[in-house]
Amino acid sequence: MKNIICSIVLLISINSFSQNFKFGKVNEEELKEKLHPIDSSANAAYLYKYRRTYFTYNENDGFVLVTDIHDRIKIYNQEGFDYATKTINRFVDGGTKETIVGLKAYTYNLVNGKVDDIKLKSSGVFENEISKYTKQTKFTMPDVKEGCVIEYKYELRSPFVYNIDEFELQAEIPIKKLVALFEAPEYYNYKSNIKGYLKAIPTKESRSASISFTNKTRTDGGGGLYPTTTQFSQSKVDYQVNISKYDLNNIPALNDEPYVNNINNYRSAVKYELSYRKLPNTTLKYYTTSWEDVITTIYRSENFGGQLNKLNYFKDDIDAMLSGVTDPVQKASMIYNHVKQNVKWNGYYGKYTEVGVKKAYKDHVGNVAEINLMLTAMLRYAGLNANPVLVSTRNNGVPLFPTREGYNYVISAIELPDAVILLDATSKYSSFNLLPYRTLNWKGRIIRENESTTTVNLYPRIKAKTTTFMNATLSEDGEITGKIRNMKTNHDAMSFREAYINRNLDEYIEDLENRYGGIEISEFQVTNDLDLSKPVMVNYNFEAEEQFESIGDKLFISPMFFFTIDENPFKLESREFPVDFGYPSSSKYSINIAIPEGYKVESIPEKVAIQLPDNLGAFKYNIIANETTIQLVVDVDINTSVIAPNYYKSLKEYFKLLVEKEKEKVVLTKA
Amino acid sequence: MKRIGLIFIFFLSFYLRGSTQENLYTVLSIPEELKQQANAVVRLNEMNVDLKSSSKMEVSVKRIITVFNKQGERNIDAYVNYDKGLGVNSLEAKIYDAFGKEIKKIKKKDFVDQSAVDGGTLYSDARVKYLDYTAISYPYTVEVTYETVTKNTAFIPWFYPLDAYYLSIQKSIYRLNNPTGINIRFKELNCEDFNIKRGENITDYQYAVEHLKAIKPEDHSPLLSEMAPKVMFAASTFTLEGVEGYVENWNDFGKWMYRDLIDGNQSLPESTITEISALVQNETQVLEKAKKIYEYVQNKTRYISVQVGIGGWKPYEASEVDKLSYGDCKALTNYTMALLDAVGIESNYTVVFSGSNKKDIQPDFASIQGNHVILSIPGEEETTWLECTSQKTPFGFIGDFTDDRDVLVITPEGGQIKHTKQYTTQENTQTTKSTSHILSDGGLEVSLEMVSKGIQYNRKYFLEAETSRDIDKHYKNRWDYINNVTIEEYNIENDKSTIAFNESVKFKATNYGNIVGDRMLVALNTINRNTYVPDRYRNRKLPLKINRGYKDVDEIEIQLPEGYNIEALPNNEVLTNKFGSYTLQIEKKDEKTLVYRRELIVNNGEFPKEDYKKFRDFYKTVAKLDNAKMALIKE
């Protein structure tokens, strides 16, 4: 019994010894550690990651947001040196800006068995201006060696109380201990949204705080007989501070994987967003708590809903254009083309307008919001039931919770009794329900004039289809000649148009030739490239050398020739995140091969049909042959935009079989 | 009198053509041949350089460019880099539609003004003003005009009209006015090939060119900057960030740089000198000592880029690097030099153009050139070159970053052009020995030992620091012609002393042999197949250049599956031509064992464009032979 107590005491003492996270209390064990005990592949690790975000009050500025940061990082090897450079972005808006106070930083090394510390000097801290809105404070630690520990702390003071940076609970390197505190005065009510797999639940507590005001009262002396006096009095307001605290241990590193649309979607993090404010002696002001609130806030903004009500700048043009047109779909189509042709996208995303729809229309240039809100207003003006749709682009992540920042883009929707037509006029080659790739990300949110709202799936339901016909004649010396015809629809047509139109034709053909292993192309012809309502058709003649292998007296040919997929795109053994294709697709190959004279078909591969589970996809390989010709039909279908990671093994196996099948040979022998 | 008349006439024609009021703003006046392969056409680029004194230079530029598509926008060049030493006096842009109608005017204050710092740099005081314009429709024309004034006369702008691919030039004019009497040196390169016109008097420094057709990039060709016309200029008396220089040749340049930028920055704390003296005390050879010091620097420091004012040119103090343990290439090179000096080893600061495209410091034209600094230790037989910014490279190994090119070595006695080490074809080897089992179900089991040297070492040693997950991915890509590879085991050894990278790998794959009825087709080369075939060009325009040669030697013992006999084997092959050689040899060791031997040599060299097809054919043949299969038949 004694023993047990003893060992418990020992354990506790070891624990408390190795976990001294006071600034500067770096111990030998931390410096001696050669590898991360759990993740030996880690190049660096946070030994301690601390953040406290809270409010202070001062009479000039009111409440100010303060964030205390204290990181202690172990650097195991040279690859981890990147973590010895720290970049802090500071938001600036005119004279209002975020500032850094009290930066302290040290590097610790073990020198002759003793902890040696070196301080970061202020001459090693640099200020860069990245853009009008972003300043950057950057520093790199002195004397960084393999095995060292670096530590820094600072305070970031921000007047932007509505905008609290996400609390990241997971990093690209492991975190041994993380403490995060968010402390809000009762006047500000924040909603927390947590994402990622950690599912961290904060402990909640509260403390009381108070603000002292100095009140100034001037007493007029009355007729100048007595001097004017100013009296100061102090008053005090008590309030509660609500605290959420996260205390987490051993958080694994976040590893990126191929075909993940945005790794930040999967990072464990908490976002606090202001839902309402109730300052003493003021009325309650709501920000967000639900999707309805988010929608209301965005919609009522002058740079969003306000832009939908402006009509005068386009009225005359639209009236003239639509005169005599009655069919609503035709009207929509004409307006859509009018916007596409007249207002070019300047490359900036945004759900809010920057210069306003009127100026954008006049200058022929606008951001996403200007173009698509203008489009919506025009459609409404023409009597269509059109509404803006908030979108989070692929690189912005998935809006899981009601937040204003969750959406960064806006498109337009026309709601018909039995269908919804989605439109984005920023992309030249998009059309009705064919949105640019950047917007294909989960769900968008339609906002109607009465501020009711509903979600709409942004992933296309209709497949992008490519059909390839090939008629080829194989000669005795291994050359094939023939014709190829391609037909492309939807996103396949869109990406073709993006790559082809306005491009140097020779260059395009040369690229295509090289993509197919150096074939020669002639009589290249494209139809419907500019007619978005029709599939793109591509026709050409080709010649390709060395298309069989001759072994002994037999010829072996891959009947899909240069269309063969000969590599499995999925190489990792397992995967944690979904595979995101963006849109469902279907490719069909129909190939006819005339074999050389004097040869006959000895054997052909077997027919096969492979299915992915739950009808996610299918591969069909059909081949028949007679004495002189081989006919092959291959269908590859992916029926969904996103495949969940639990299907990864099946998907990898599916592609393995597909590649194997496509590489199988037809054998010809001398007749 | 006669003479004057002649000059007068010349001037007249020279300038009249420059200012003929043909409309350069409409697309209609672009000659047809300039539209071929062009993303943009420079209608007129007019640059005037006024050297006012050794510490004042004014530059004015007018550039009219028609842009055909999005790619062409990167050639508009509507930006001005500036810093504390360079002021922008005026800046304006106008946009014209296809018919030459002005549609927008952008004033100086409407240019975006921001820091020109890149992500990899800790700090830089460089700034840029640039035009942020969204095209309403293509084509359109931009006219940019600006005037700058600078105290730095070390960089007189060059005449370099064709600085990009897919860009054609209708007219480009350059003028350097030098009323100061300061000697101007200049160097013309490739000017005859492009019909560059020069002002009558050589000291007028006037150049012009018309109708340069767009060039399309092609693989395996020399750098555009090696082929394009260029006139380099330098003032013999100049100023750089307040430091005056007088330079006629590289020797002067080296003296100036040594005296004003390098010398006196080598102080070190006593403790460090003691430490390194102790470190090398048991070594007798100079290079052994130097190696210890190089490794000391590698362990102590890391590369961080900081560019401030003259700091952009002058290395940080060695003692500062000693304290901070980081620095940029100049600081780290200077620090290593100081340490070597402290133990009595001479070494020299060396200026170079870095990058795998071997770019020379122009050997016969002294001016500020280069973008990187390395260190050289002179030796009786050969010079040792040290890359001081890497913590990984072995002593004396510079790899493809700074190999085989002219560089400027700075010594107290002056500057000297030297040539860095070339890694020859015979040095860039990859030697592999393997045993490969073919299983009766078509499966494959491979074990191999691979040794890479020279540039082939260079291309692999990064693997040492990769995570096992990334190495797994790397190997799967290396053998991507085999489907379903599983890496069973690997062991990597970076032998820095002999500069060899040793890998031993075991992997397996299913369905490697292609079973067709009673037969199995098996590609013999399991471990090192060349699948690369250079792109085909319908009409190759540029010469062929192979930067570095290499040699691969492979020996594979192939064990045949139970139940199968050999039906047919590929033939032995020997190919030799000026691009290299290839041999393939198959030997039957016994009934169940084959030995496959392969050697591929690719030579470096420069060849006329007519050779490109043969070069491609060589690779094509190699790719085909590397894919040669044997047919096995069931017993």
Let me know if residue B12 belongs to a domain. no
Is A659 in Cβ contact with B483 (below 8 Å)?
yes
Task: Quote the minimal CA–CA distance from A301 to chain B in Å.
Answer: 26
In terms of Cα–Cα distance, which of A439, A433, A429 is closest to A351?
A439
Measuring CA to CA, how many Å separate A157 from each of A54, A58, A59, A99, A475?
A: 10, 12, 15, 5, 76
| B532 and B406 in a common domain | no
The domain boundary residue, chosen from B209, B224, B240 = B240
Q: Following DSSP, what letter does each residue of A336-388 receive, concatenated?
A: HHHHHHH-EE-S---SS-SS-HHHHHHHTEE-HHHHHHHHHHHHHHTT--EEE
Among chain B residues, the shortest Cα distance to A428 is held by: B137
Among chain B residues, the shortest Cα distance to A142 is held by: B324
Does the pLDDT of residue A289 top 50, yes or no?
Answer: yes
What confidence tens digit (pLDDT) does each residue in A76-104 have? 998 899 899 999 999 888 778 899 999 99
Does the pLDDT of residue A15 top 50, yes or no?
Answer: no
Task: Quote the minimal CA–CA distance from A132 to chain B in Å.
Answer: 8
For residues A443 and B120, the model is more confident at: A443
- Around Cβ A410, how many Cβ atoms within 10 Å? 30
Sheet bearing B519-523, strands edge to edge: B514-516, B519-523, B629-634, B564-568
Q: Cβ distance A240 to A53 under 8 Å?
A: no
Does the pLDDT of residue A552 top 90, yes or no?
Answer: no
* Helical ranges in B388-467 per DSSP H: 399-402, 454-458
pLDDT for residue A217: 67
Which residues of chain B are within 8 Å of residue A602 when distances are taken between CB atoms?
517
| B123 and B37 in a common domain | yes
Task: Quote the minimal CA–CA distance from A366 to chain B in Å.
Answer: 9
**In 3-state terms, what secondary structure has residue A198?**
coil
What confidence tens digit (pLDDT) does each residue in B224-251 have? 999 999 999 999 999 988 889 999 999 9
Is A144 in Cβ contact with B326 (below 8 Å)?
yes
Fold (CATH) for A293-457? C8orf32 fold (3.10.620)
Which member of B323, B467, B631 has the closest CB to residue A551?
A: B631
Structural tokens at position B330: 């100049």
Report the alpha-carbon distance of residue A352 to residue B516 in Å, rounded: 63
Report the alpha-carbon distance of residue B582 to residue B600 in Å, rounded: 5
Is B304 in Cβ contact with A140 (below 8 Å)?
yes
B300 touches chain A (CB under 8 A): yes
Let me know if residue B56 belongs to a domain. yes
Is A568 in Cβ contact with B535 (below 8 Å)?
no
pLDDT for residue A228: 64
Which residues of chain A are within 8 Å of residue B624 when distances are taken between CB atoms?
546
Does the pLDDT of residue B175 top 70, yes or no?
Answer: yes
Interface test with B, best of A126, A146, A649 (most B CBs within 10 A): A126
Is A365 in Cβ contact with B136 (below 8 Å)?
yes
| B80 and B109 in a common domain | yes
Which residues of chain B are within 8 Å of residue A81 when distances are taken between CB atoms?
302
Region of poorest pLDDT, from A235-239, A309-313, B62-66, B426-430: A235-239
| B291 and B211 in a common domain | no
Among chain B residues, the shortest Cα distance to A521 is held by: B538
| Predicted complex ipTM exceeds 0.90 | no
Does the pLDDT of residue B306 top 90, yes or no?
Answer: no
In terms of Cα–Cα distance, which of A580, A575, A270, A569 is closest to A395?
A580
| B229 and B117 in a common domain | yes
Q: What is the overall mean pLDDT for chain A?
A: 88
Task: Quote the minimal CA–CA distance from B408 to chain A in Å.
Answer: 31
Is B324 in Cβ contact with A142 (below 8 Å)?
yes
* Mean pLDDT score, A305-324: 94
B117 touches chain A (CB under 8 A): yes
Is B620 in Cβ contact with A518 (below 8 Å)?
yes
A464-670 is classed in which CATH architecture?
Sandwich (2.60)
Interface test with B, best of A120, A477, A506 (most B CBs within 10 A): A506
Report the alpha-carbon distance of residue B635 to residue A621 in Å, rounded: 31
For residues A3 and A213, the model is more confident at: A213
Max mean pLDDT among A37-46, A85-94, B484-493 falls in B484-493
Does the pLDDT of residue B15 top 70, yes or no?
Answer: no
| B409 and B308 in a common domain | yes
| Beta strands B102-107 and B121-124, pairing class | unpaired
pLDDT for residue A226: 61
Task: Quote the minimal CA–CA distance from B372 to chain A in Å.
Answer: 21
Interface of B with A in 450-509 (CB under 8 A): 465, 467-469, 473, 476-477, 480-481, 483-484
Is B137 in Cβ contact with A142 (below 8 Å)?
no
Does the pLDDT of residue A318 top 80, yes or no?
Answer: yes
Does the pLDDT of residue A281 top 80, yes or no?
Answer: no
The domain boundary residue, chosen from B206, B240, B274 = B240
Is B468 in Cβ contact with A126 (below 8 Å)?
no
Q: What are phi and psi of B337, to 5 degrees?
A: -60, -40
- The whole domain housing B594 covers 429-634
Let me know if residue B84 belongs to a domain. yes
Angle at A399 between CA A398 and CA A405, to 5 degrees: 120
Is A145 in Cβ contact with B631 (below 8 Å)?
no
B197 touches chain A (CB under 8 A): no
A39-277 shares its CATH topology with A293-457: no
B511 touches chain A (CB under 8 A): yes
pLDDT for residue B119: 59
pLDDT for residue B378: 96
- Percentage of chain B exceeding pLDDT 90: 78
Q: Cβ distance A289 to A276 under 8 Å?
A: yes
A39-277 is classed in which CATH architecture?
Sandwich (2.60)
Region of poorest pLDDT, from A21-30, A498-507, B205-214: A498-507
pLDDT interval class at A236 (50, 70, 90): confident
What confidence tens digit (pLDDT) does each residue in B259-272 have? 988 999 999 999 99
Does the pLDDT of residue B2 top 50, yes or no?
Answer: no
Which residues of chain A are within 8 Å of residue B69 when distances are taken between CB atoms?
502-503
pLDDT interval class at A161 (50, 70, 90): confident
Interface test with A, best of B101, B115, B567 (most A CBs within 10 A): B115
Task: Quote the minimal CA–CA distance from A644 to chain B in Å.
Answer: 22
B621 touches chain A (CB under 8 A): no
CATH of the domain at B145: 2.60.40.3140
Domain count, chain B: 3
| B519 and B413 in a common domain | no
In terms of Cα–Cα distance, which of A427, A432, A417 is closest to A462?
A432
Q: Cβ distance B375 to B262 under 8 Å?
A: no
Q: Cβ distance A173 to A80 under 8 Å?
A: yes
CATH of the domain at B454: 2.60.120.1130
Does the pLDDT of residue B141 top 90, yes or no?
Answer: yes
Which residues of chain A are within 8 Å of residue B135 when distances are taken between CB atoms?
344
Sheet bearing A554-557, strands edge to edge: A549-551, A554-557, A666-670, A599-603
Among chain B residues, the shortest Cα distance to A145 is held by: B300
Any idea of the CA torsion for A342, A343, A344, A347, to the nearest 10 degrees? -170
A537-568 burial: b if 16+ Cβ within 10 Å, else e: bbebebebebbbbbbeebbbbbbbbbbbbeeb
Structural tokens at position A422: 């989605």
pLDDT for residue B468: 85
Task: Quote the minimal CA–CA distance from B403 to chain A in Å.
Answer: 25
Which residues of chain B are within 8 Å of residue A502 when distances are taken between CB atoms?
68-70, 138
Which residues of chain A are within 8 Å of residue B124 when distances are taken between CB atoms?
128
**In 3-state terms, what secondary structure has residue B165?**
coil
* Mean pLDDT score, B513-533: 91
Task: Quote the minimal CA–CA distance from B480 to chain A in Å.
Answer: 7
Give the CA count within 13 Å in the CB-facing half-sphere of A233. 5
| B392 and B314 in a common domain | yes
pLDDT for residue B17: 45
Structural tokens at position A642: 């996103």
Interface of B with A in 23-42 (CB under 8 A): 37
Is B521 in Cβ contact with A556 (below 8 Å)?
yes
Is B134 in Cβ contact with A142 (below 8 Å)?
no
Q: What is the overall mean pLDDT for chain B?
A: 91
B9 touches chain A (CB under 8 A): no
For residues A440 and A279, the model is more confident at: A440
Does the pLDDT of residue B335 top 60, yes or no?
Answer: yes
Largest CA distance in chain A: 131
Which residues of chain A are within 8 Å of residue B628 when distances are taken between CB atoms?
549
Chain pair A-B, CB pairs under 8 angstroms: 136
The domain boundary residue, chosen from B240, B265, B283 = B240
* Mean pLDDT score, B73-85: 89
Which residues of chain A are within 8 Å of residue B536 when distances are taken between CB atoms?
510, 513-514, 518, 520
| B497 and B405 in a common domain | no
Interface test with B, best of A77, A78, A564 (most B CBs within 10 A): A78
| B279 and B133 in a common domain | no
* Mean pLDDT score, B440-457: 97
Axis crossing angle, helix A368-381 with helix A328-342, rounded to the nearest 10? 150
What confidence tens digit (pLDDT) does each residue in B571-582 have? 999 999 999 999
Which residues of chain B are within 8 Å of residue A130 when distances are taken between CB atoms?
114-115, 117
**In 3-state terms, what secondary structure has residue B105?**
strand
* Mean pLDDT score, B78-104: 91
CATH of the domain at B409: 3.10.620.30
In chain A, where the domains are located:
39-277, 293-457, 464-670
Is B117 in Cβ contact with A667 (below 8 Å)?
no
pLDDT for residue A260: 64
* Helical ranges in B393-496 per DSSP H: 399-402, 454-458, 468-478
| B224 and B152 in a common domain | yes
Let me know if residue B11 belongs to a domain. no
Which residues of chain A are within 8 Å of residue B517 when distances are taken between CB atoms?
602-603, 667
Does the pLDDT of residue A221 top 60, yes or no?
Answer: no
Task: Quote the minimal CA–CA distance from A622 to chain B in Å.
Answer: 17
pLDDT interval class at B325 (50, 70, 90): very high
